[in-house]
Amino acid sequence: MGSIPTLDVFILTFNAAKCQINIPVFSRHLYNAFGQHASVLPELVVISLQEMAPMAQAFIGSYMLNPYFQRYESAVNVAAAKFTAEQEREHHPKDRPYTLVAMRNVGMTGIMFFTRDPVVVQSLQAAEVGFGAGDMANKGAVGLRVVCEKKEAGSDSTPRRSELTFVAAHLAAMEWNLARRNKNWENIVSGLVFEDPKGFAGRPSLQPTLQGSDESEEAQQALLGRDDSYYKALQDISIYKPSAHLFIAGDLNYRLSTTSPTSGSVFPDVDAESPNYFDHFLSRDQLIAEKAASRTLHGLSEADIKFPPTYKLTLSPKAEPETELARIGDEQDDIDEVEWSWALHRWPGWCDRVLFLDTPWWVQETTGEKMSVTAYDAIPAVRSSDHRPVFLRVKVPMLEPDGLMRIPTGPDNENELGGNQQRPVDPRIKLPFPIDFQSWEHRAQVKKWESTIGWSMLISQSKQGIMLFVTVLLVSLGTWWYRSR
Protein backbone atom coordinates (compact mmCIF):
# COMPACT_ATOMS: atom_id res chain seq x y z
CA MET A 1 0.00 0.00 0.00
CA GLY A 2 1.24 3.48 -0.82
CA SER A 3 1.54 6.53 1.43
CA ILE A 4 -1.94 7.92 0.87
CA PRO A 5 -4.43 7.50 3.73
CA THR A 6 -6.84 4.58 3.82
CA LEU A 7 -10.33 4.06 5.22
CA ASP A 8 -10.74 1.06 7.50
CA VAL A 9 -14.11 -0.39 6.43
CA PHE A 10 -16.05 -3.29 7.99
CA ILE A 11 -18.97 -4.75 5.99
CA LEU A 12 -21.25 -7.46 7.37
CA THR A 13 -24.05 -9.28 5.57
CA PHE A 14 -26.74 -11.28 7.35
CA ASN A 15 -29.98 -13.00 6.33
CA ALA A 16 -31.97 -12.51 9.53
CA ALA A 17 -34.78 -14.98 8.60
CA LYS A 18 -37.40 -12.31 9.48
CA CYS A 19 -36.44 -12.44 13.17
CA GLN A 20 -35.08 -9.89 15.60
CA ILE A 21 -31.59 -10.60 16.87
CA ASN A 22 -30.50 -11.31 20.43
CA ILE A 23 -28.47 -8.16 21.14
CA PRO A 24 -25.99 -9.57 23.72
CA VAL A 25 -25.19 -12.62 21.57
CA PHE A 26 -24.87 -10.68 18.32
CA SER A 27 -22.76 -7.96 19.94
CA ARG A 28 -20.34 -10.56 21.32
CA HIS A 29 -19.86 -11.99 17.84
CA LEU A 30 -19.33 -8.48 16.44
CA TYR A 31 -16.79 -7.75 19.17
CA ASN A 32 -14.81 -10.84 18.17
CA ALA A 33 -15.07 -9.91 14.49
CA PHE A 34 -13.81 -6.37 15.16
CA GLY A 35 -10.75 -7.87 16.83
CA GLN A 36 -9.91 -10.37 14.11
CA HIS A 37 -6.43 -9.38 12.84
CA ALA A 38 -6.98 -5.82 14.11
CA SER A 39 -6.31 -3.84 17.28
CA VAL A 40 -8.52 -0.83 16.55
CA LEU A 41 -12.15 -0.35 15.61
CA PRO A 42 -12.97 0.15 11.93
CA GLU A 43 -13.75 3.72 10.85
CA LEU A 44 -16.85 2.73 8.88
CA VAL A 45 -19.28 -0.12 9.53
CA VAL A 46 -21.86 -1.18 6.94
CA ILE A 47 -24.49 -3.83 7.64
CA SER A 48 -26.40 -5.49 4.80
CA LEU A 49 -29.60 -7.23 5.92
CA GLN A 50 -31.84 -9.63 4.07
CA GLU A 51 -35.22 -10.87 5.30
CA MET A 52 -34.68 -8.34 8.03
CA ALA A 53 -38.34 -8.42 9.08
CA PRO A 54 -41.60 -10.17 8.15
CA MET A 55 -42.96 -9.11 4.78
CA ALA A 56 -45.88 -7.10 6.14
CA GLN A 57 -43.69 -4.88 8.32
CA ALA A 58 -41.03 -4.61 5.62
CA PHE A 59 -43.51 -3.52 2.94
CA ILE A 60 -45.04 -0.92 5.27
CA GLY A 61 -41.57 0.22 6.27
CA SER A 62 -40.96 3.37 8.32
CA TYR A 63 -41.58 2.94 12.06
CA MET A 64 -42.54 -0.71 11.55
CA LEU A 65 -38.88 -1.48 10.83
CA ASN A 66 -37.37 0.71 13.53
CA PRO A 67 -37.39 -2.04 16.20
CA TYR A 68 -35.41 -4.28 13.85
CA PHE A 69 -32.89 -1.61 12.84
CA GLN A 70 -32.48 -0.45 16.45
CA ARG A 71 -31.32 -3.88 17.61
CA TYR A 72 -28.42 -3.84 15.13
CA GLU A 73 -27.53 -0.28 16.15
CA SER A 74 -27.45 -1.39 19.78
CA ALA A 75 -25.39 -4.50 18.98
CA VAL A 76 -22.80 -2.50 17.02
CA ASN A 77 -22.35 0.03 19.80
CA VAL A 78 -22.32 -2.53 22.62
CA ALA A 79 -19.58 -4.43 20.78
CA ALA A 80 -17.65 -1.26 19.98
CA ALA A 81 -17.85 0.09 23.54
CA LYS A 82 -16.53 -3.20 24.92
CA PHE A 83 -13.77 -3.26 22.31
CA THR A 84 -12.75 0.32 23.07
CA ALA A 85 -12.64 -0.33 26.78
CA GLU A 86 -10.60 -3.52 26.51
CA GLN A 87 -8.39 -2.90 23.47
CA GLU A 88 -7.73 0.82 23.78
CA ARG A 89 -7.67 0.72 27.61
CA GLU A 90 -10.00 3.68 27.98
CA HIS A 91 -11.38 4.09 31.49
CA HIS A 92 -14.44 6.01 30.30
CA PRO A 93 -15.25 4.82 26.78
CA LYS A 94 -18.12 6.28 24.83
CA ASP A 95 -21.44 4.50 25.26
CA ARG A 96 -22.04 4.88 21.55
CA PRO A 97 -18.72 4.88 19.68
CA TYR A 98 -20.53 4.74 16.33
CA THR A 99 -23.00 7.18 14.83
CA LEU A 100 -25.70 5.71 12.62
CA VAL A 101 -25.57 7.99 9.60
CA ALA A 102 -28.15 6.24 7.42
CA MET A 103 -30.50 3.29 7.31
CA ARG A 104 -32.55 2.42 4.26
CA ASN A 105 -34.60 -0.52 3.08
CA VAL A 106 -36.18 -1.81 -0.06
CA GLY A 107 -38.83 -4.22 1.17
CA MET A 108 -37.15 -6.96 3.19
CA THR A 109 -33.58 -5.88 2.33
CA GLY A 110 -31.92 -3.19 4.44
CA ILE A 111 -28.63 -1.36 4.79
CA MET A 112 -27.12 0.54 7.71
CA PHE A 113 -24.11 2.88 7.59
CA PHE A 114 -22.11 3.77 10.73
CA THR A 115 -19.07 5.95 11.25
CA ARG A 116 -16.86 6.71 14.25
CA ASP A 117 -16.48 10.31 13.07
CA PRO A 118 -19.55 11.87 11.41
CA VAL A 119 -17.39 14.73 10.07
CA VAL A 120 -15.75 12.24 7.70
CA VAL A 121 -19.01 11.83 5.72
CA GLN A 122 -19.53 14.75 3.32
CA SER A 123 -22.53 13.61 1.30
CA LEU A 124 -24.90 10.67 0.94
CA GLN A 125 -27.25 9.31 -1.75
CA ALA A 126 -29.55 6.27 -1.78
CA ALA A 127 -31.03 4.06 -4.48
CA GLU A 128 -33.20 0.94 -4.63
CA VAL A 129 -34.59 -1.67 -6.99
CA GLY A 130 -37.02 -4.55 -6.50
CA PHE A 131 -37.03 -7.76 -8.54
CA GLY A 132 -39.19 -10.18 -6.60
CA ALA A 133 -42.70 -11.30 -7.56
CA GLY A 134 -44.21 -8.59 -9.75
CA ASP A 135 -40.98 -6.60 -9.23
CA MET A 136 -41.88 -6.17 -5.56
CA ALA A 137 -39.11 -6.07 -3.00
CA ASN A 138 -39.42 -9.43 -1.34
CA LYS A 139 -36.16 -9.67 -3.28
CA GLY A 140 -34.20 -6.58 -4.20
CA ALA A 141 -31.21 -4.33 -3.60
CA VAL A 142 -30.66 -1.03 -1.81
CA GLY A 143 -27.58 1.14 -2.14
CA LEU A 144 -25.82 4.01 -0.37
CA ARG A 145 -23.22 6.26 -1.96
CA VAL A 146 -21.08 8.38 0.35
CA VAL A 147 -18.25 10.85 -0.07
CA CYS A 148 -15.72 10.64 2.75
CA GLU A 149 -13.00 13.12 3.61
CA LYS A 150 -9.87 12.42 5.63
CA LYS A 151 -6.51 14.07 6.28
CA GLU A 152 -3.23 12.21 6.16
CA ALA A 153 -2.02 11.37 9.67
CA GLY A 154 0.12 14.16 11.12
CA SER A 155 -0.33 16.34 8.06
CA ASP A 156 -1.79 19.83 7.61
CA SER A 157 -2.35 19.23 3.92
CA THR A 158 -5.72 19.42 2.21
CA PRO A 159 -7.96 16.47 3.18
CA ARG A 160 -8.34 13.72 0.61
CA ARG A 161 -11.82 12.81 -0.59
CA SER A 162 -12.98 9.42 -1.76
CA GLU A 163 -16.36 8.12 -2.90
CA LEU A 164 -17.76 4.73 -1.89
CA THR A 165 -20.84 2.83 -3.06
CA PHE A 166 -22.34 0.09 -0.87
CA VAL A 167 -25.06 -2.25 -2.16
CA ALA A 168 -27.09 -4.67 -0.03
CA ALA A 169 -28.72 -7.36 -2.17
CA HIS A 170 -30.92 -10.44 -1.91
CA LEU A 171 -31.09 -12.52 -5.10
CA ALA A 172 -33.46 -15.33 -6.11
CA ALA A 173 -33.43 -18.49 -4.00
CA MET A 174 -33.49 -22.21 -4.89
CA GLU A 175 -30.83 -24.29 -6.60
CA TRP A 176 -32.46 -24.26 -10.04
CA ASN A 177 -32.85 -20.46 -10.16
CA LEU A 178 -29.32 -19.79 -11.42
CA ALA A 179 -30.45 -17.89 -14.52
CA ARG A 180 -32.82 -15.80 -12.41
CA ARG A 181 -30.01 -14.85 -10.03
CA ASN A 182 -27.98 -13.65 -12.99
CA LYS A 183 -31.02 -11.71 -14.19
CA ASN A 184 -31.37 -10.14 -10.75
CA TRP A 185 -27.79 -8.90 -11.08
CA GLU A 186 -28.68 -7.37 -14.44
CA ASN A 187 -31.63 -5.66 -12.71
CA ILE A 188 -29.21 -4.17 -10.18
CA VAL A 189 -26.84 -2.82 -12.83
CA SER A 190 -29.72 -1.49 -14.94
CA GLY A 191 -32.09 -0.26 -12.24
CA LEU A 192 -30.18 0.62 -9.07
CA VAL A 193 -29.31 4.16 -10.07
CA PHE A 194 -28.67 7.14 -7.81
CA GLU A 195 -30.53 9.75 -9.86
CA ASP A 196 -33.70 9.52 -11.94
CA PRO A 197 -32.50 8.35 -15.38
CA LYS A 198 -35.71 9.41 -17.10
CA GLY A 199 -34.14 12.70 -18.14
CA PHE A 200 -31.70 10.75 -20.30
CA ALA A 201 -34.40 8.79 -22.15
CA GLY A 202 -34.61 11.17 -25.12
CA ARG A 203 -30.90 11.06 -25.80
CA PRO A 204 -29.22 8.76 -28.33
CA SER A 205 -29.11 5.10 -27.36
CA LEU A 206 -26.08 3.74 -25.52
CA GLN A 207 -26.67 0.20 -26.71
CA PRO A 208 -23.81 0.05 -29.25
CA THR A 209 -21.34 1.33 -26.68
CA LEU A 210 -22.53 -0.90 -23.88
CA GLN A 211 -22.75 -4.11 -25.82
CA GLY A 212 -19.72 -3.77 -28.09
CA SER A 213 -17.58 -6.88 -28.43
CA ASP A 214 -14.13 -5.26 -28.67
CA GLU A 215 -12.42 -5.81 -25.29
CA SER A 216 -8.93 -4.61 -26.21
CA GLU A 217 -7.05 -2.08 -24.11
CA GLU A 218 -7.14 0.27 -27.09
CA ALA A 219 -10.95 0.17 -26.97
CA GLN A 220 -10.94 0.87 -23.23
CA GLN A 221 -8.62 3.85 -23.69
CA ALA A 222 -10.86 5.16 -26.45
CA LEU A 223 -13.90 4.90 -24.18
CA LEU A 224 -12.12 6.68 -21.34
CA GLY A 225 -11.01 9.43 -23.68
CA ARG A 226 -14.44 10.05 -25.21
CA ASP A 227 -15.75 13.56 -24.95
CA ASP A 228 -19.28 12.33 -24.33
CA SER A 229 -20.81 14.12 -21.35
CA TYR A 230 -24.06 12.20 -21.83
CA TYR A 231 -22.45 8.79 -21.51
CA LYS A 232 -20.33 9.86 -18.53
CA ALA A 233 -23.32 11.35 -16.74
CA LEU A 234 -25.31 8.16 -17.17
CA GLN A 235 -22.39 6.01 -16.03
CA ASP A 236 -22.03 8.23 -12.97
CA ILE A 237 -25.52 7.42 -11.68
CA SER A 238 -24.93 3.66 -12.01
CA ILE A 239 -23.34 1.44 -9.36
CA TYR A 240 -20.22 1.46 -11.57
CA LYS A 241 -19.49 5.15 -11.18
CA PRO A 242 -15.89 5.45 -12.45
CA SER A 243 -14.77 7.71 -9.60
CA ALA A 244 -16.17 5.55 -6.77
CA HIS A 245 -15.22 2.34 -4.97
CA LEU A 246 -17.95 -0.34 -5.04
CA PHE A 247 -18.93 -3.04 -2.52
CA ILE A 248 -21.68 -5.66 -2.93
CA ALA A 249 -22.85 -7.54 0.16
CA GLY A 250 -25.80 -9.86 0.56
CA ASP A 251 -27.49 -13.20 0.32
CA LEU A 252 -26.60 -13.78 -3.30
CA ASN A 253 -28.02 -17.31 -3.10
CA TYR A 254 -25.53 -18.99 -5.45
CA ARG A 255 -25.31 -22.71 -4.62
CA LEU A 256 -23.27 -25.82 -5.45
CA SER A 257 -25.74 -27.34 -7.91
CA THR A 258 -28.78 -26.56 -10.04
CA THR A 259 -30.63 -29.58 -8.62
CA SER A 260 -31.60 -30.51 -5.07
CA PRO A 261 -29.48 -33.07 -3.21
CA THR A 262 -30.52 -36.70 -3.11
CA SER A 263 -30.35 -39.19 -0.26
CA GLY A 264 -26.90 -40.29 -1.45
CA SER A 265 -25.41 -36.80 -1.89
CA VAL A 266 -22.07 -36.12 -0.18
CA PHE A 267 -22.06 -32.86 1.78
CA PRO A 268 -19.11 -30.65 2.73
CA ASP A 269 -17.31 -31.50 5.95
CA VAL A 270 -15.78 -29.04 8.42
CA ASP A 271 -13.05 -31.53 9.37
CA ALA A 272 -9.83 -30.48 7.61
CA GLU A 273 -8.67 -34.14 7.52
CA SER A 274 -11.79 -35.29 5.69
CA PRO A 275 -11.64 -36.03 1.92
CA ASN A 276 -14.87 -34.01 1.75
CA TYR A 277 -13.43 -30.94 3.46
CA PHE A 278 -15.49 -27.93 2.46
CA ASP A 279 -12.79 -26.15 0.42
CA HIS A 280 -12.93 -29.02 -2.13
CA PHE A 281 -16.48 -27.89 -2.95
CA LEU A 282 -15.50 -24.36 -3.99
CA SER A 283 -14.88 -25.65 -7.51
CA ARG A 284 -18.65 -26.23 -7.72
CA ASP A 285 -19.63 -22.79 -6.47
CA GLN A 286 -22.03 -21.18 -8.93
CA LEU A 287 -20.94 -17.62 -8.22
CA ILE A 288 -17.28 -18.30 -8.96
CA ALA A 289 -18.20 -20.05 -12.22
CA GLU A 290 -20.75 -17.47 -13.37
CA LYS A 291 -18.45 -14.57 -12.54
CA ALA A 292 -15.60 -16.18 -14.49
CA ALA A 293 -17.97 -16.52 -17.45
CA SER A 294 -18.89 -12.80 -17.19
CA ARG A 295 -22.53 -13.55 -16.48
CA THR A 296 -22.71 -11.90 -13.05
CA LEU A 297 -20.88 -9.59 -10.60
CA HIS A 298 -18.82 -8.17 -13.44
CA GLY A 299 -15.33 -7.00 -12.50
CA LEU A 300 -15.78 -7.65 -8.78
CA SER A 301 -13.17 -9.33 -6.60
CA GLU A 302 -13.53 -11.55 -3.55
CA ALA A 303 -11.05 -12.47 -0.85
CA ASP A 304 -10.17 -16.14 -0.41
CA ILE A 305 -12.99 -18.11 1.21
CA LYS A 306 -11.69 -19.92 4.30
CA PHE A 307 -15.04 -20.62 5.98
CA PRO A 308 -17.65 -23.35 5.37
CA PRO A 309 -20.84 -22.74 3.39
CA THR A 310 -23.10 -20.39 5.34
CA TYR A 311 -26.50 -21.85 4.38
CA LYS A 312 -28.67 -23.85 5.04
CA LEU A 313 -28.15 -24.67 8.71
CA THR A 314 -30.27 -26.86 10.95
CA LEU A 315 -29.83 -25.65 14.52
CA SER A 316 -29.84 -27.90 17.56
CA PRO A 317 -32.43 -26.87 20.17
CA LYS A 318 -31.22 -24.80 23.05
CA ALA A 319 -30.89 -26.58 26.38
CA GLU A 320 -33.46 -25.53 28.93
CA PRO A 321 -32.01 -23.55 31.88
CA GLU A 322 -31.84 -25.59 35.06
CA THR A 323 -33.17 -22.86 37.34
CA GLU A 324 -35.84 -20.19 37.17
CA LEU A 325 -33.20 -17.54 37.88
CA ALA A 326 -31.19 -18.68 34.85
CA ARG A 327 -34.35 -18.56 32.74
CA ILE A 328 -35.07 -14.97 33.78
CA GLY A 329 -31.53 -13.83 32.94
CA ASP A 330 -31.35 -15.72 29.66
CA GLU A 331 -32.09 -12.70 27.43
CA GLN A 332 -29.09 -10.86 28.87
CA ASP A 333 -26.69 -13.78 28.43
CA ASP A 334 -24.23 -13.32 25.56
CA ILE A 335 -23.01 -16.92 25.68
CA ASP A 336 -25.00 -19.08 23.29
CA GLU A 337 -22.86 -21.58 21.44
CA VAL A 338 -25.13 -22.92 18.71
CA GLU A 339 -24.61 -26.43 17.41
CA TRP A 340 -25.66 -26.93 13.80
CA SER A 341 -25.64 -29.34 10.89
CA TRP A 342 -26.56 -29.06 7.21
CA ALA A 343 -30.23 -29.15 6.21
CA LEU A 344 -30.42 -32.28 4.04
CA HIS A 345 -33.02 -30.99 1.55
CA ARG A 346 -30.81 -28.09 0.32
CA TRP A 347 -27.30 -28.08 -1.04
CA PRO A 348 -25.08 -26.11 1.33
CA GLY A 349 -23.88 -22.95 -0.32
CA TRP A 350 -21.74 -19.88 0.18
CA CYS A 351 -24.88 -17.80 -0.23
CA ASP A 352 -23.69 -14.91 1.94
CA ARG A 353 -20.87 -12.97 0.29
CA VAL A 354 -19.10 -9.60 0.26
CA LEU A 355 -17.35 -8.57 -2.96
CA PHE A 356 -15.59 -5.39 -4.01
CA LEU A 357 -14.42 -3.60 -7.11
CA ASP A 358 -10.68 -3.26 -6.72
CA THR A 359 -8.80 -0.23 -7.97
CA PRO A 360 -8.49 -0.18 -11.78
CA TRP A 361 -5.56 -1.97 -13.38
CA TRP A 362 -4.13 1.30 -14.66
CA VAL A 363 -4.03 2.62 -11.06
CA GLN A 364 -2.45 -0.57 -9.70
CA GLU A 365 0.20 -0.67 -12.43
CA THR A 366 1.20 2.98 -12.06
CA THR A 367 0.77 3.67 -8.33
CA GLY A 368 0.45 0.25 -6.67
CA GLU A 369 -2.66 1.38 -4.78
CA LYS A 370 -5.28 -1.33 -4.24
CA MET A 371 -7.67 -2.73 -1.66
CA SER A 372 -6.01 -4.44 1.31
CA VAL A 373 -8.17 -7.13 2.89
CA THR A 374 -7.72 -7.55 6.65
CA ALA A 375 -10.28 -10.31 7.23
CA TYR A 376 -13.00 -12.23 5.38
CA ASP A 377 -14.87 -14.69 7.54
CA ALA A 378 -18.19 -15.96 8.88
CA ILE A 379 -19.23 -15.32 12.45
CA PRO A 380 -20.75 -18.18 14.48
CA ALA A 381 -24.32 -19.27 13.85
CA VAL A 382 -27.04 -17.48 15.77
CA ARG A 383 -30.21 -19.15 16.94
CA SER A 384 -32.61 -16.91 15.03
CA SER A 385 -31.40 -17.72 11.48
CA ASP A 386 -30.42 -20.60 9.20
CA HIS A 387 -27.63 -18.42 7.72
CA ARG A 388 -24.28 -17.49 9.22
CA PRO A 389 -23.36 -13.80 8.93
CA VAL A 390 -20.28 -13.01 6.85
CA PHE A 391 -17.99 -9.99 7.17
CA LEU A 392 -15.23 -8.33 5.17
CA ARG A 393 -12.77 -5.88 6.66
CA VAL A 394 -10.74 -3.93 4.14
CA LYS A 395 -8.50 -0.89 3.96
CA VAL A 396 -9.68 1.30 1.11
CA PRO A 397 -7.16 3.68 -0.49
CA MET A 398 -8.51 7.22 -0.46
CA LEU A 399 -7.95 7.88 -4.12
CA GLU A 400 -9.33 11.15 -5.37
CA PRO A 401 -12.02 10.74 -8.06
CA ASP A 402 -9.66 11.99 -10.74
CA GLY A 403 -7.05 9.47 -9.61
CA LEU A 404 -9.40 6.55 -10.17
CA MET A 405 -10.42 7.76 -13.61
CA ARG A 406 -7.03 8.87 -14.96
CA ILE A 407 -5.54 6.42 -17.45
CA PRO A 408 -1.78 6.68 -18.17
CA THR A 409 -0.76 8.74 -21.21
CA GLY A 410 2.50 9.61 -22.87
CA PRO A 411 5.20 8.00 -25.02
CA ASP A 412 5.61 5.04 -22.66
CA ASN A 413 1.90 4.36 -22.57
CA GLU A 414 2.16 0.99 -24.31
CA ASN A 415 4.64 -0.36 -21.78
CA GLU A 416 2.69 1.04 -18.83
CA LEU A 417 -0.44 -0.70 -20.01
CA GLY A 418 1.20 -4.02 -20.72
CA GLY A 419 1.51 -3.78 -24.48
CA ASN A 420 -1.09 -5.75 -26.44
CA GLN A 421 -2.18 -7.90 -23.53
CA GLN A 422 -5.94 -8.49 -23.59
CA ARG A 423 -7.92 -7.69 -20.45
CA PRO A 424 -11.60 -7.97 -19.52
CA VAL A 425 -13.36 -4.66 -19.95
CA ASP A 426 -13.49 -2.74 -16.70
CA PRO A 427 -17.20 -2.07 -15.93
CA ARG A 428 -16.28 1.47 -14.86
CA ILE A 429 -15.47 2.05 -18.51
CA LYS A 430 -18.20 0.05 -20.23
CA LEU A 431 -21.35 -1.03 -18.39
CA PRO A 432 -22.22 -4.72 -18.72
CA PHE A 433 -25.93 -3.85 -19.16
CA PRO A 434 -27.73 -0.69 -20.31
CA ILE A 435 -29.45 1.59 -17.80
CA ASP A 436 -33.24 1.21 -17.47
CA PHE A 437 -34.59 4.71 -18.06
CA GLN A 438 -37.93 3.84 -16.43
CA SER A 439 -36.46 2.35 -13.25
CA TRP A 440 -37.37 5.14 -10.82
CA GLU A 441 -40.89 5.58 -12.17
CA HIS A 442 -41.53 1.84 -12.17
CA ARG A 443 -40.20 1.45 -8.63
CA ALA A 444 -42.47 4.24 -7.36
CA GLN A 445 -45.53 2.52 -8.86
CA VAL A 446 -44.68 -0.89 -7.40
CA LYS A 447 -43.96 0.65 -4.00
CA LYS A 448 -47.57 1.79 -3.71
CA TRP A 449 -48.72 -1.80 -4.13
CA GLU A 450 -46.23 -2.98 -1.53
CA SER A 451 -47.65 -0.61 1.07
CA THR A 452 -51.19 -1.78 0.35
CA ILE A 453 -50.17 -5.44 0.49
CA GLY A 454 -48.21 -4.86 3.70
CA TRP A 455 -51.15 -3.30 5.51
CA SER A 456 -53.52 -5.98 4.22
CA MET A 457 -51.21 -8.72 5.50
CA LEU A 458 -50.75 -7.05 8.87
CA ILE A 459 -54.48 -6.56 9.37
CA SER A 460 -55.31 -10.13 8.40
CA GLN A 461 -52.62 -11.61 10.65
CA SER A 462 -53.30 -9.94 13.97
CA LYS A 463 -56.07 -8.72 16.23
CA GLN A 464 -54.07 -5.55 16.84
CA GLY A 465 -53.99 -4.93 13.11
CA ILE A 466 -57.75 -5.34 12.84
CA MET A 467 -58.27 -2.98 15.79
CA LEU A 468 -55.95 -0.43 14.21
CA PHE A 469 -57.83 -0.67 10.90
CA VAL A 470 -61.18 -0.23 12.63
CA THR A 471 -59.86 2.73 14.63
CA VAL A 472 -58.53 4.46 11.52
CA LEU A 473 -61.82 3.75 9.72
CA LEU A 474 -63.91 5.20 12.58
CA VAL A 475 -61.72 8.29 12.85
CA SER A 476 -61.96 8.81 9.09
CA LEU A 477 -65.74 8.43 9.12
CA GLY A 478 -66.02 10.76 12.12
CA THR A 479 -63.87 13.37 10.43
CA TRP A 480 -65.92 13.12 7.23
CA TRP A 481 -69.22 13.42 9.16
CA TYR A 482 -67.96 16.44 11.16
CA ARG A 483 -66.80 18.27 8.04
CA SER A 484 -70.01 17.50 6.14
CA ARG A 485 -72.27 19.03 8.78
Higher per-residue pLDDT: 371 or 212: 371
Query: What ranges do the domains of the chain cover?
Result: 6-195+237-406, 440-485
Q: Give buried/exposed letters for 267-295 (b at 16+ CB in 10 A, else e).
A: bbbeeeeeeeebeebeeebbbbebbeeeb
Of 297, 335, 293, the residue nearest 318 (C-alpha): 335
pLDDT digits (tens, 9 = 90+) for 58-93: 999 888 999 999 999 999 999 999 999 876 665 566
State how far the Cα of 355 lies from the Cα of 422, in Å rounded to an integer.
24
pLDDT band at 460, cuts 50/70/90?
confident
pLDDT band at 326, cuts 50/70/90?
very low
Tell me the percentage of the chain whose pLDDT exceeds 90: 64
Architecture of domain 6-195+237-406 in this structure? 4-Layer Sandwich (3.60)
| pLDDT confidence of residue 61 | 87
Helices and strands of the chain, counted as H and E runs: 14, 13
- Tell me which of 254-268, 280-294, 369-383, 403-417 is least confident: 403-417
Residue type, 344: L
Cis status, amide bond into 82, omega within 30 of 0 = no
pLDDT band at 362, cuts 50/70/90?
confident
Contact 163, 146 (CB under 8 A): yes
State how far the Cα of 111 lies from the Cα of 435, in Å rounded to an integer.
23
CA angle 212, 218, 223 (to 5 degrees): 55
Higher per-residue pLDDT: 430 or 165: 165
| pLDDT confidence of residue 432 | 94
Average confidence (pLDDT) over 213-234: 58
pLDDT digits (tens, 9 = 90+) for 88-117: 665 566 678 999 999 999 999 999 999 999
State how far the Cα of 485 lies from the Cα of 481, in Å rounded to an integer.
6
The sheet with strand 244-251 has its strands ordered as 121-130, 140-150, 160-170, 244-251, 352-357
Tell me the percentage of the chain whose pLDDT exceeds 70: 80
Average confidence (pLDDT) over 217-245: 74
| pLDDT confidence of residue 354 | 98
Higher per-residue pLDDT: 335 or 469: 335
pLDDT digits (tens, 9 = 90+) for 172-202: 999 999 999 999 999 999 999 999 998 876 6
**Is the four-CA dihedral 175, 180, 182, 185 of positive or negative sign?**
negative
* Cβ neighbours of 96 (radius 10 Å): 15
The alpha carbon of residue 202 and the mean position of all alpha carbons in its chain are separated, in whole angstroms, by: 32
Is residue 205 predicted with pLDDT exceeding 60? no
Radius of gyration of the chain (CA): 24
DSSP element (H, E) containing 115: strand 109-115
The alpha carbon of residue 94 and the mean position of all alpha carbons in its chain are separated, in whole angstroms, by: 27
State how far the Cα of 106 lies from the Cα of 108, in Å rounded to an integer.
6
β-pairing verdict for 372-378 and 99-106: unpaired
